[in-house]
Chain A
């Protein structure tokens, strides 16, 4: 068995990661904004004379099978992949959090309906719902986002609801009620701050999963459709060429891995920071 090891308090250990992650995210955002403003190549313009070129000054990552600049497509692909993932996440939060607040604080019919619905929704895996929606409405990134929202909002609502239930028992809420604050105000000013921490943890860890889901489904053709430069879709298009130009396959993959790693690191940091046990100690 091993001996002792120095154990840093967990938040500290993850703080370094979180800072790195944050710095990288800022860097990436800057790059994205830059390309957006100073686009030098049209990502969808095909130029068959310049297919599958290697790295060059004009095309730092080369060109793909239709002559499009890979770097531009990578960066714009980021906008697509990350953008749509964030969209799904934010919409799910916008629906789930209020629902959870009302359900947990005011109870009543809303709560009962929600619990029944929630059980039913939760019984179904997000991937099945995504498949079902794509099946009914046709493949497309919009439908994929819709499917994700439909499943995810329930888990946020439940988390918020259970937090609210726990906090409602506490004194500061009772005092606020005695003081005559309206339920809405109580929910917004007192309960919401406590909820934010837990939701932030879940959301940041979910973001990575959503990114992986969207890129995976785009890869098999059920998400972003060509010619959109989404990373998963790009991997799909790169498949026939990976013997001659494997880089076309490596770059988008690496991009996905890096971004998901970063969001996971951020999520770990938030989890340490908003650790429930720590809260109770305070």
Chain B
């Protein structure tokens, strides 16, 4: 296991170094002089000396590799510099936005579980019944509906017309409802069908019949044996679709003006706020790494065969 974790860590490290170096280059070479952006040249009239002074101050006149070296040292200590747009330390901005993003992701996952597990289970247990047909229909539709469109409709319905739920910002748990619901429903469609087929497969296994022969209750057989056996494929898909979950979080944050790091980075991109963008990349790399590792670990937990076979080969 340690082997896997270290390997993943290096993959992440490689990617981060690669990306940061490239982005570092771009900042220096890209259109749009960052110094001018900071000084907001459009609004103020600034003298050439002031521009030069700031440029020197920010170290832009030093040789490229030296700049990179200095920057990298800071980066490793999580000093991402100051945002071009707001002047605040990037790390602070990210830390402020992180809780909101985590809430949203957790809320969406909660909705997804709440929807997929019952629907998937019932579709498998009552195969070809009306529940199965409806869940199939909903899945097909759900896979085609853009999350942001669903969000707009929900906003229209619950926010504007019925005035039931808040549609913007973050004022307590109730503002989490619509965004979580939107994102959660959007990702559910895949999992409903996946759980169904995984369950159908599990339920047809011999050990289910053996458990029945031992007199275990149907609910025990279903939850402790069949359902648990059905989890690995679902987790695999989750690991693979992490990308679209992240993208979904970003889009939903923008749609509902929920102040998380997704919204932060989109604004940053529009404003060419490179330090913030770089900070975002590092944070996301860490998050992706953590999630991937958790997925791998949960595999080992669910599937003792893997864990023990690995130990045996050593």
Residues of B within 8 A of A130 (CB): 247
Query: A221-236 CB contact bits vs B (8 Å, 1 = yes)?
Result: 1100000000010010
Residues of A within 8 A of B274 (CB): 135
**Nearest residue in A to B246 (C-beta to C-beta)?**
A127
**Nearest residue in A to B125 (C-beta to C-beta)?**
A1
Judge whether B195 is part of the interface by a CB distance below 8 angstroms. no
Most buried by B among A124, A212, A219, A253: A212
Query: A104-138 CB contact bits vs B (8 Å, 1 = yes)?
Result: 00000000000000011001111110111011111
Residues of B within 8 A of A219 (CB): 146, 148, 251, 254-255
Residues of A within 8 A of B11 (CB): 119-120, 123
**Nearest residue in B to A252 (C-beta to C-beta)?**
B149
17 additional A-B residue pairs with CB within 8 Å, beyond A125-B242, A264-B140: A1-B126, A2-B129, A5-B128, A123-B292, A125-B247, A127-B247, A130-B247, A136-B26, A137-B26, A216-B248, A219-B255, A220-B148, A220-B250, A220-B266, A221-B254, A253-B153, A258-B144
Chain B contacts with A in 96-137, Cβ cutoff 8 A: 125-129
The complex places the Cα of A221 from the Cα of B156 at a distance, in Å, of 21
Residues of B within 8 A of A134 (CB): 269
CB distance from B142 to the nearest CB of A (A): 10
A binding-site residues for B, Cβ under 8 Å: 1-2, 5, 119-120, 123-128, 130-132, 134-139, 151, 208-209, 212-213, 215-217, 219-222, 232, 235, 239, 242-243, 246, 249, 253, 256-258, 260-261, 264
When the two chains form their complex, are residues A261 and B265 in contact, meaning their CB atoms are under 8 A apart?
no
Query: B269-290 CB contact bits vs A (8 Å, 1 = yes)?
Result: 1101010010011001000100
**Nearest residue in B to A220 (C-beta to C-beta)?**
B254
Supposing A135-B268, A216-B148, A261-B140 touch, asked if A126 and B277 sit within 8 A by C-beta, the answer is no
Can you list 21 pairs linking A and B with CB atoms under 8 Å apart? A5-B128, A124-B288, A125-B246, A127-B247, A128-B246, A131-B277, A131-B281, A132-B23, A136-B30, A138-B269, A208-B144, A209-B244, A219-B146, A220-B148, A220-B250, A221-B254, A222-B269, A256-B146, A257-B141, A260-B146, A261-B141
Most buried by B among A136, A137, A260, A264: A136
When the two chains form their complex, are residues A257 and B265 in contact, meaning their CB atoms are under 8 A apart?
no
Supposing A136-B26, A243-B160, A249-B152 touch, asked if A124 and B143 sit within 8 A by C-beta, the answer is no
Which of B14-22, B75-83, B205-213 is near enough to bind chain A?
Answer: B14-22
Supposing A2-B128, A132-B281, A216-B247 touch, asked if A120 and B146 sit within 8 A by C-beta, the answer is no
The complex places the Cα of A88 from the Cα of B80 at a distance, in Å, of 33
When the two chains form their complex, are residues A135 and B277 in contact, meaning their CB atoms are under 8 A apart?
yes
Residues of B within 8 A of A1 (CB): 125-126
Chain B contacts with A in 18-38, Cβ cutoff 8 A: 19, 22-23, 26, 30-31
Residues of B within 8 A of A215 (CB): 146
**Interface SS of chain B:** helix
The complex places the Cα of A2 from the Cα of B129 at a distance, in Å, of 7
When the two chains form their complex, are residues A123 and B266 in contact, meaning their CB atoms are under 8 A apart?
no
Residues of B within 8 A of A208 (CB): 143-144
Most buried by A among B19, B23, B152: B152
Query: B250-268 CB contact bits vs A (8 Å, 1 = yes)?
Result: 1100110000000001101
Judge whether B8 is part of the interface by a CB distance below 8 angstroms. yes
Query: B288-313 CB contact bits vs A (8 Å, 1 = yes)?
Result: 10001000000000000000000000
Supposing A119-B11, A123-B15, A235-B152 touch, asked if A253 and B243 sit within 8 A by C-beta, the answer is no
The complex places the Cα of A123 from the Cα of B143 at a distance, in Å, of 24
Judge whether B138 is part of the interface by a CB distance below 8 angstroms. no
When the two chains form their complex, are residues A137 and B30 in contact, meaning their CB atoms are under 8 A apart?
yes
Judge whether B145 is part of the interface by a CB distance below 8 angstroms. yes
Residues of B within 8 A of A258 (CB): 144
Query: B141-184 CB contact bits vs A (8 Å, 1 = yes)?
Result: 10111111100110010001000000000000000000000000
Residues of A within 8 A of B243 (CB): 124-128, 151
When the two chains form their complex, are residues B143 and A260 in contact, meaning their CB atoms are under 8 A apart?
yes
